[in-house]
Amino acid sequence: MNIQENISLKEYNTFGINVNAKRFVSIDSFYSLQQLLKIEKDVFLISGGSNMLLTKDIDKLVVHINMKGISIDRESNNEIYLTVNAGENWHEFVLWCVSQNYGGLENLSLIPGNVGTCPIQNIGAYGVEVKDTITRVEAIEIQTGKLIEFSNTECEFGYRNSIFKNIQKGKYIITAVSFKLTKNQHKLNSTYGAIETELSLKNIKNPTIKDISDAIITIRQSKLPDPKKIGNSGSFFKNPVISRAHFLNLKEEFPEIPNYPISKDTVKVPAGWLIEKSGFKGKRFGAYGVHEKQALVLVNYGGATGGEIYELAQKIQSTIKNKFSIDLEIEVNII
């Protein structure tokens, strides 16, 4: 185990924030992770680094989760069960599934991050959430070093949420995730407006999972910044859910407000629209700002500090509160 000192975390977080880890270790096997936890339990985990805003140097031992490998557990004519180690890159895994004609994850193409973190916030895009395919999550309990398995139900998945993000936060290290995917008769999800438009532009009437994946890659590339070029963490805020009465009030003032009914009494409104309406879309403040094509994404053009971006996020929150009486919840972990 090679513990290094004073390592920059710039390459390990998609925001590209340059803070230092006092001590840093990259872990590539389950065994070394268990050994490490015997000597050090107070650790800071980093995997794909795609859902965090680092605002300061990290004093704890930073553990980079880098276990690779995909294994097939069992398969029938129609389904396949796979277990994937936490350090696999998410998008590469999705592309591999698509190339094998394993269906279920194609709508989640091009989401940054690693497989081990996909259950934590139950990643979702274009009408699909990863919870729809996860059968099992395998994790080490930090205090005891024991291996624990969580069924799909035990993960208590919700919109950008799971037990790993709230009641069990910081207790476990996810080491592997198991998925159930389809081998034929795929349940295609192409109803999201932009997908249909993209498919019809290409004149595709009976799409394959590859067609859907390609369409989503095109859509995402057209409005979301590539973290390798412009630092970002995807959607910075959650889409807020407000009461129907509150929504109807807003609709009087803003008849065009996009909305998705959630229940009889609640409505989800897109944070991106609220932020755009408040004049922040495309605003640049030196090295950081709000993305020009998607207002839900805060960006680091290079050299910004996490503190600066966090301040901008708070400014957006207070503006939205004043203008719409809505509390915007930050989706990214602020460290």
Q: Which residues are catalytic?
A: 160, 235, 331
Residue number of the CB atom closest to ligand EPU = 234
Among 283, 327, 274, 277, residue whose Cα is nearest residue 301 = 283
By the rule CB under 6 A, 310 interacts with ligand EPU:
no
By the rule CB under 6 A, 270 interacts with ligand EPU:
yes
Q: Estimate to the nearest angstrom the gap between the alpha carbon of 103 and the chain centroid.
A: 20
Nearer to ligand EPU (CB atom), residue 26 or residue 107: 107
| Identified binder of ligand EPU from the candidate list 281, 288, 306, 313, rule CB under 6 A | 281
If one counts every other C-beta atom within 10 angstroms of the C-beta of residue 146, the result is: 11
Tokens describing residue 130:
């990863």
Residues from 46 through 85 that contact ligand EPU (CB under 6 A): none
By the rule CB under 6 A, 91 interacts with ligand EPU:
no
Q: Cα(325)–Cα(263) distance, rounded to whole angstroms?
A: 20
Site string for ligand EPU, 196-225 (x = CB under 6 A): ----------------------------x-
Nearer to ligand EPU (CB atom), residue 82 or residue 299: 299
- Cα angle 136, 140, 143; round to 5: 140
Q: Cα(313)–Cα(326) distance, rounded to whole angstroms?
A: 14
By the rule CB under 6 A, 298 interacts with ligand EPU:
no
Q: Cα(138)–Cα(30) distance, rounded to whole angstroms?
A: 11
By the rule CB under 6 A, 165 interacts with ligand EPU:
no
Query: Residue 125 carries which DSSP code?
Result: E
By the rule CB under 6 A, 163 interacts with ligand EPU:
no
Q: Estimate to the nearest angstrom the gap between the alpha carbon of 328 and the chain centroid.
A: 17
| Identified binder of ligand EPU from the candidate list 172, 273, 280, 310, rule CB under 6 A | 273
By the rule CB under 6 A, 250 interacts with ligand EPU:
no
Residues in the chain: 335
Tokens describing residue 27:
């872990």
Positions touching ligand EPU (CB under 6 A) are 125-126, 224, 234-235, 238-239, 258, 270, 272-273, 276, 281, 294-296, 331
